Each structure stands twice: as C-alpha cells, then as structure tokens.
Amino acid sequence: MTKTWTKCGLLTAVLVAFTLPAAAEWPNDKPITIIIPYSPGGGFDTIVRSFAPALEKALGAEVVPENIAGGGGTKGAATVHRSDPDGYTIGIYNIPGFTVNQVTGKDMGFDLDEVSWIANLATSRYAVAVKADSEIDSLEALCSLGRNAKMSDTGTASTASVTTRISFKLIDCPLTDVTGYKGSNDAMIAVIRGEVDGTIKPVSSLKKYVDSGDLKIIATYTQEDVIDSVPSTGSLGYADLAKFDLRRVIGGPPGIPPEIVERLSQAFIDAANDPEVQEWAAGAGVELEPVGSADAAAMMSDLSDFYGQYKDVLTAQ
C-alpha cells in the first residue's frame, strides 16, 4: 500500500511540475487572437482594435484581431468555441444578441452557457433617431402617426431589432420593423433617405449623423437625461427601457484554466484604464464599463433571465 501511494504521489508531483509552469509563463510562445464576428469597420471591430495595443502592454504578448463574419456573428463565435482552451484564441460577443438567440432556441453552433467569460468592456446606450428635418419630434409623436411606425434594422436577431420590438410593445407603440439592411450604417442611412421613420441605435453610432445634421435624437434609453434637450425614457415614465442596451463582452472556449481567465480578465481591465484607450473612448462616445470574469458571468446569467421574460415577443416574427 505504501509503495502504491508513493507512486501516485510521484505521478502527481510530475503532473504539477509540468502544468504549473505552463500556466505561470502564459502567454509565452504565440500571439493571442481576438476573433471579431463581424466585418471590419463596425463597433465591435473598432473596440477590439482600439484595445489591442494596450492589451499587448498588459500581457507582454502580440494581440491579433481577426474578422470572421457570417451568420449574424455566430460563425466567428462558433470558431472561438471550437478553439483549444489555452487562452490563445478568444472573441468578442454581441450581447444581448446572442442571449436572445439562445432564449428563442436558435441553433448558433455553440452553447452560450459554456463560454469562458472573461470581461465586459463597454455598454452602449440606445437612442431613437429620426431624420433631422422630420416633423416627428418626440417618442409620443412617433407612436401617434395613425399607422405603424417604420423602424430600420439589419435583421430580427440583431440587438437593435430586439430592443425595438420589445420596447415598442411595452409602450404600446404600433411598429413595422423593416429589416434586411446590411449594417447599422445602412439602417441609419435608410432614415436619412426617408425609407423609414426612424431607427434605434447606440448613441455612439448615431453621433456622426447627428453631428452632420442628418439625424436628430428624440429620446435616449436611459434613466436620466444624458443629452441636452433630449428626454430620457426614464423621464418619460418608461423606466424599464433603460435596461435595454448593448454589451461588448469578451469570452473564450469552454475549459480555459481559471488562472489564464483571470490573467486575461485583469489585462482587459488594465487596458480599459490605459490613458490612450480612455482618450479614444471619450472621443468616440464609447461608455467603458470594464468588469472582470466573475461579474461578467453573473451579468450573462441575469441577462438570460431578463430576456427570457419576453420570449413570446421575440419569437413573434
């Protein structure tokens, strides 16, 4: 018996000797790839590329952004999911877009509950925008046209479309959700062209068209007023609408060792506090809300419960 336990003890010691240095020295032999599940130029692409230099400083390793578009973002996310759980391939996730897909039973090619959540980087607040010279000057006016308000979106699974459908249902605003636009920019240009009455997009995305005089914001999905002369949904009596927002969350394949998850998590938080990233975010109107792995996992669980309440609305196409 003594000899058996001695052999087991030696085997354990050998395994520990080989395992601990690998984790302690990570990353040490190849670049860290961050998969962006959309084409270049969008919000998810921009935030990853803006974070990359600060991440390289925090990790002491090369960081390589890689775009893998398709399937409304699911192709890139599924690629992350199938990767080795060694911390060298991670990705950015569209939340609650993917959360809604899972709530409604859509096959994404991966299980969101299995993702190794690393960090939340930013939370984008939504706003309702119409054409700058439109006679529609309030949310009430938009909902009192005598017909359905026509709103532009990329697809029914997009976070903006989900927000539009649920929120308009909650405020009893008749809606026609016009989908099929290739990207957020196209959906906003559709408003400028007069193809639709308005659109719901992140404030940061609307900013350039508001600044150019092409669009005007008539309400923000926030508790408090955040733009001069523009009411928040909170001040309009729709407090729950502030819960609808867009999260940019970092995750990895199932089974990444906890110590590597923690190392990555801390690196993203350090990068979010980097002066250059802070300056970029302020200029771009990006609201950084960095939280670590434990808080990100808890947030994902809460969002699943929240959107689960509206499954009937989400499945009604």
Domains and CATH numbers, the chain: 30-123+246-315 (3.40.190.150), 125-243 (3.40.190.10)
Q: What is the torsional sign of CA 166, 131, 235, 127?
A: positive
pLDDT at 25: 82
pLDDT in tens, 287-304: 899 999 999 999 999 999
pLDDT at 22: 52
pLDDT in tens, 50-97: 999 999 999 999 999 999 988 888 999 999 999 999 999 999 998 988
pLDDT at 14: 44
Q: Look at residue 19 and tell me whether its pLDDT is greater than 50.
A: no
Q: Which of the pair, 108 or 21, is modelled with greater confidence?
A: 108
pLDDT in tens, 241-283: 998 998 999 999 999 999 999 999 999 999 999 999 999 999 8
280 Cβ neighbours under 8 A, 6+ residues apart: 50, 286
pLDDT at 158: 78
pLDDT at 23: 58
Q: Which of the pair, 1 or 75, is modelled with greater confidence?
A: 75
Split at pLDDT 50, 70, 90, the class of 15 is very low
pTM, two decimal places: 0.79
pLDDT in tens, 163-220: 999 999 999 999 999 998 877 889 999 999 999 999 999 898 898 899 999 999 999 9
Q: Look at residue 307 and tell me whether its pLDDT is greater than 70.
A: yes
pLDDT at 217: 98
